[in-house]
Amino acid sequence: MKHPARLIAIGAAVLVTAFAVVLATQVGGDPRSDATTSRLLSEPVPAFSVRTLDGDLVRAADLDGRAVIVNFWNTWCIPCIEELPALEEFYARHAGEPDFLMLGIVRDDTEQAVRAYVRAEGIEWTIGLDPGAAAALAFGTRGQPETFAISPDGVIVGFQLSEASVDDLETLLARARGDAA
């Protein structure tokens, strides 16, 4: 071998180049970009059922014919607690509208804690319990708060992962009613 150092350098360069190519093809864009969407957008609402604090059963089929806002939350979630005033204001604006329903689905929490929180905060919209997280799994949730807008024909038309403002909720409702893009 005339130039062993040269062969070693070429071999190392080939390995580094191969590693760079593999790395470049495996690295996507911003990993947070997936948080701005849901795999369920433009899909029918998934089959689910939750028992409300009043003991009633709410199923996907019960949502038909109304613009629905579904908010996943729990009592110990700081962003959920911070979101509550916006939910209260938004619900107060729309509570009397016959084509509107707001459903809070509580996961990862105890019924006792939820009842105490709802009572203390004066929450008036329908609250469903999801003790086994079956509804949360059906919706493909990744955290809380997480909010979905469902059109009267049962299609998920809006989504937000994170605390929603009143404006965010109004936008979701407009999408559910077909009034916004």
What are the residue boundaries of the structural domains of the chain, listed by start?
Answer: 31-176
Query: Can you tell me the mean pLDDT for 100-105?
Result: 98
In 53-123 the beta strands, taken as DSSP E runs, fall at: 57-59, 67-73, 100-107
Q: What percent of the chain has pLDDT over 70?
A: 77
Q: What is the pTM of this model?
A: 0.79
Whether 24 has a pLDDT exceeding 90, the answer reads no
User: What is the topology classification, in CATH, of domain 31-176?
Assistant: Glutaredoxin (3.40.30)
Q: At what angle do helices 166-176 and 78-94 cross, to 10 degrees?
A: 60
First to last CA, the chain: 69
Q: Is the pLDDT of residue 21 over 50?
A: no
| Confidence band of 179 (pLDDT split at 50, 70, 90) | confident
The pLDDT of residue 43 is: 86
**Which pLDDT band, with edges at 50, 70 and 90, does 78 fall under?**
very high
Tell me: pLDDT of 70 over 70: yes
Beta strands in 10-164 (DSSP E): 49-52, 57-59, 67-73, 100-107, 126-130, 146-150, 156-161
